[in-house]
Chain A
Amino acid sequence: MPVQSADQTQLFSGHGTGTLRLVVFLAIAAALMASDARFGLLGTARHYGAELTRPVYWLASAPKRLGQATVDYAEDRATLLNENRSLREQILLSEAKVARFDTLVSENESLRTLLDARQRLGLKAQLVEIIDIDLDPFRQRLVVNRGTNAGISAGQAVLDGRGLIGQIVDASEHSATVILLTDPGHAVPVRVERTGLRSIAYGTGAADRLLLSHVPFSANLQPGDRLLSSGLGGRFPAGLPVAVITDVKGDRSATFAVAEAKPVAGIEQVKQLLVLEEELSAISADSVESAPDFVGPPQGLAFPPAQSP
């Protein structure tokens, strides 16, 4: 039967596409997928290939940039002046705040030395910009414009002004891919700010939903509870705002509760992100061990007061 149908195509189109060739190509593709996904064998190929993708990414995002530039150019002078004034006001306000923070930080440090606690480094972070291209809408990934040449490597934590966004999953020379907290393949160790309960927040694939499963009912989780990164696992520094609980239900067995949470970081709104430097993660991991009661937000980063529902 297969022989006959192959003959038929031969007859009609003048060439055949053998099932054997199909099987061979599919096998190669499957082998590639397995070696890439499971064993990470193709990291170098991906690394060099990324150089090829850079001009294409630039070209693909060109129309939007052009449109944005036109809009910016056409904006009214009055609007600009207005914006300028309000920005200046904001700078003054922020400067005042920063001055206050500085005193707080120095006070904090002196208190810490008094307590003989381990010295914590401040947040050392690098500003990166999101490259405006759409990868698959059903995967929660982003591409940013800095790579290994700016010291970025896989595993670094990524945040915005409000809280944790995800981590670097793959870095090439001039760009890096960020896996978001909400990716179904991602999980982040968290701690409930109010009760101190430790849990793990899993991504769901939906941009505004994280899931905490197998939480004991006795943990008294409530909507509105804020989740901070716990620092366990050594990937993320402790105390970064992660999400706010929106809903708590019993699971199917009615033994554990399942909680839904909404990430605090505004992934859809931001253009710039911060990538934390590597050493910090390691330090905070053991600082949690040695001083388990320190889980406050790092200097200068806290929940925005008006954001919580």
Chain B
Amino acid sequence: MSKSRVSGWALVLLVLAAILLTLAPVPEVLRALRPFWMALVVVYACLEWPDEFGLGTAFLLGLISDLMSGVVFGEHAFRLVVVAFIMLRFRSRIRFFPMWQQTAAVFALLLNDRIVTWMLRTFTGEFAIDWRYWLAPFVGALLWPWFFLLVSDLTQRRRSKAS
């Protein structure tokens, strides 16, 4: 009970942080490098809290992201559900990967997300991409180990204090 409450709060904070990081203004040069923060949150939640986190929650987070970034409803929801599904499927393996392999898996996941987005936007019919479009997965993968270590350290500390 207390464990799931802690993870619930942690998820809310993570989502809030992800939204702020996604929207915060950065110089023009760095804009294309911005990683898909919400996907990192979803990956983390799938790894650490599989009992509380499912496709439904991922869908909900997607709708929130859609609202925040002002794109058509359902786009982020679609992308995050795909991410969550793949993560939950392979969770048992990825969880015991060494960090570099885990990072590679996250990279593949983010790249896949880029392809899915490309597909979706081609269907909604308004999209022009250039090579910078493919940079974000690299940044996301590079940030993953630090993100993972930081967040798990923080939540672990909370949990030990709570128990």
A-B interaction = yes
Write the residues of chain A forming the contact surface with B, with a CB cutoff of 8 angstroms: 9, 12-15, 17, 21-22, 25-26, 28-33, 35-37, 42, 45-46, 49-50, 52-53, 56-57, 59-61, 63-64, 132-139, 141, 143, 170, 177, 183-185, 204-206, 268
CB distance from B80 to the nearest CB of A (A): 9
Residue of A49, A206, A268 touching B28 (CB-CB under 8 A): A268
A143 in contact with B70 given A22-B85, A26-B81, A56-B23 (CB within 8 Å): yes
Contact B72 A36 (CB under 8 A): yes
Given A136-B69, A137-B132, A206-B128, 17 more A-B residue pairs with CB atoms under 8 Å apart are A17-B54, A17-B84, A17-B85, A17-B88, A22-B55, A22-B81, A25-B59, A26-B78, A28-B77, A50-B67, A53-B68, A60-B19, A61-B24, A136-B71, A138-B32, A139-B126, A170-B70
Contact with A along B35-72 (1 / 0, CB 8 A): 00000000000000011001110110010000111111
Taking CB as reference atom, which chain B residue is nearest A61?
Answer: B25
List the 8 shortest-distance A-B pairs measured between CB atoms, nearest first: A205-B128, A32-B74, A185-B126, A12-B92, A60-B23, A29-B78, A33-B74, A137-B31
B120 to chain A, nearest CB (A): 7
Residue of A nearest to B95 (CB): A13
B82/A26 in contact, CB under 8 A:
yes
Most B C-beta atoms less than 10 A away, residue of A13, A30, A45, A170: A13
User: Smallest distance from the beta carbon of A106 to chain B beta carbons, Å?
Assistant: 44
Q: Give complex CA distance A53, B22 in Å.
A: 13
Q: Measured between C-beta atoms, what is the minimum distance from A56 to chain B in Å?
A: 6
Q: Are A141 and B127 in contact (CB-based, < 8 A)?
A: no
A117 to B28, CA, bound (A): 47
The answer to whether A15 and B23 have CB atoms under 8 Å apart is no
Residues of B within 8 A of A17 (CB): 54-55, 84-85, 88-89
Please determine whether A52 and B67 come into contact, CB atoms closer than 8 angstroms: yes
Which single member of B75, B77, B125, B128 contacts A138 (CB below 8 Å)?
Answer: B128
Instruction: Spell out B's residues near A (CB within 8 Å).
Output: 19-20, 23-26, 28, 31-32, 34, 50-51, 54-56, 58-59, 62, 67-75, 77-78, 81-82, 84-85, 88-89, 91-92, 120, 123-130, 132-133
Give the distance in Å from the alpha carbon of A15 to the alpha carbon of B56 in the complex.
14
- Say which residue of B20, B32, B56, B125 sits within 8 Å of A56 (CB atoms): B20
Please indicate the chain A residues that have their CB under 8 angstroms from the CB of B55 in the complex.
17, 21-22, 25
Q: Given A13-B91, A138-B133, are A29 and B70 also a contact pair (CB < 8 Å)?
A: no
Q: Which of A26, A29, A135 contacts B69 (CB 8 A)?
A: A135
Q: A34 CB to closest chain B CB, in angstroms?
A: 8
B50 surroundings in chain A (CB, below 8 A): 13-15
Q: Provide the residues of chain A in CB contact with B58, threshold 8 Å.
A: 25
Let me know if B19 and A56 touch, CB within 8 A. Answer: yes
Tell me if B75 and A33 are in contact (CB < 8 A): yes
> Judging by beta carbons under 8 Å apart, are B59 and A33 in contact?
no
Q: List 24 A-B contacts (CB under 8 A).
A: A9-B88, A9-B91, A13-B50, A14-B51, A17-B55, A17-B85, A21-B55, A29-B59, A33-B124, A36-B72, A46-B73, A53-B67, A56-B68, A60-B23, A61-B24, A61-B25, A135-B71, A136-B69, A137-B32, A170-B70, A177-B70, A183-B126, A184-B128, A206-B130
How many Å lie between the Cα of A14 and that of B120 in the bound state? 33
| A21 surroundings in chain B (CB, below 8 A) | 54-55
**Cβ contact within 8 Å between B74 and A29:** yes
Task: Find chain B residues with CB under 8 A from A45 CB.
Answer: 73
On whether A33 and B67 interact (CB within 8 A), knowing A137-B31, A137-B32, A184-B127, the answer reads: no
Contact of A36 among B19, B20, B73 (CB under 8 A): B73
How far is A49 from B120 in the complex, measured between Cα atoms in Å?
23
Q: What distance in Å separates the Cβ of A60 from its nearest Cβ neighbour in chain B?
A: 4
Task: Give the complex CA separation of A135 and B70 in angstroms.
Answer: 8
CB–CB B124/A37 < 8 A: yes
Cβ contact within 8 Å between B128 and A134:
no
Chain B residue, CB-CB nearest to A5: B89
Give which listed residue, A36, A134, A137, contacts B23 with CB less than 8 A.
Answer: A134
User: Cβ of A141 and Cβ of B70 under 8 Å apart?
Assistant: yes
Kindly list chain A residues whose C-beta atoms are within 8 Å of the C-beta of B67. 46, 49-50, 52-53
Are B32 and A134 closer than 8 Å at their CB atoms? no
